[in-house]
Amino acid sequence: MSGARHAVRLVNATLGNLPAICDAAGNYLKGGFTLASEQPAYVRGNYNANDAGFGTPNAASAVIADATTLLSRSWSDMQSLLHPRYYNNNAPVSRFASTSWYRLAIASGKNLSFPQPNWGASQDFGTDGGVHNFLRYLETWNGQTSHYKGSLVSFYYSHYGNGSFKCCAIVYSPPTRDYSFDTNFLDPQQLPPGTPRFRDVVNLSFTQDFRPQ
């Protein structure tokens, strides 16, 4: 593939819309959905949840991507095209988010850090944004809440979503972050499809055997 890379956006994945096999009580048994992409991924809420929050039947779900951005359930492509910056003339534009819910594991990339310049850059400029900005945003949240339940893994540096982290008046205003770990992932049978697995190899000792064979 030549030229600019594209991105993947996940939509219409509210509670009950992801593939899963559940018992009569709505508890997850197997199935689920995992997106794996070398490109950036955009997840539009509500995802594996609804306006009432995290419920059943939910599906074991994951995104493995170059970078992951959460879009609220109020995301508008038109407003994004009209207002490529979240601030215009020091006033927030009409790219307003609404409280949204996301339930999935995310393995994604982060940005390289570099020495902070001395020309009055924000305190976070030059960093990767920290774990609280590992999930990326593009909207004006204005006190709205991003409810995230899952597991976050930083495996690598982003190759495509690799712009420097910009705080507070250029790209987005942060939501009230309600992040929690999904304890379903403590059960190996409830991990999303294709979850990377590692085995520990413990070298205790070795000896050389010089006996003739």
Question: By mean pLDDT, which of 79-93, 107-121, 147-161, 168-182 is the weakest?
Answer: 79-93
Count the neighbouring beta carbons within 10 Å of the beta carbon of residue 1: 5
Q: Is 62 helix (H, G, I), strand (E, B) or coil?
A: strand
The reported pLDDT for the residue numbered 157 is 87
User: pLDDT tens-digit profile of 66-115?
Assistant: 999 999 999 988 878 877 766 555 555 668 899 999 999 999 988 877 67
Our measurement of the distance from residue 187's CA atom to the centroid of its chain's CA atoms, rounded to an integer in Å, reads 21
Three-state SS for 77? helix
Q: How far apart are CA 28 and CA 25, in angstroms?
A: 9
Q: What is the pLDDT of residue 1?
A: 39
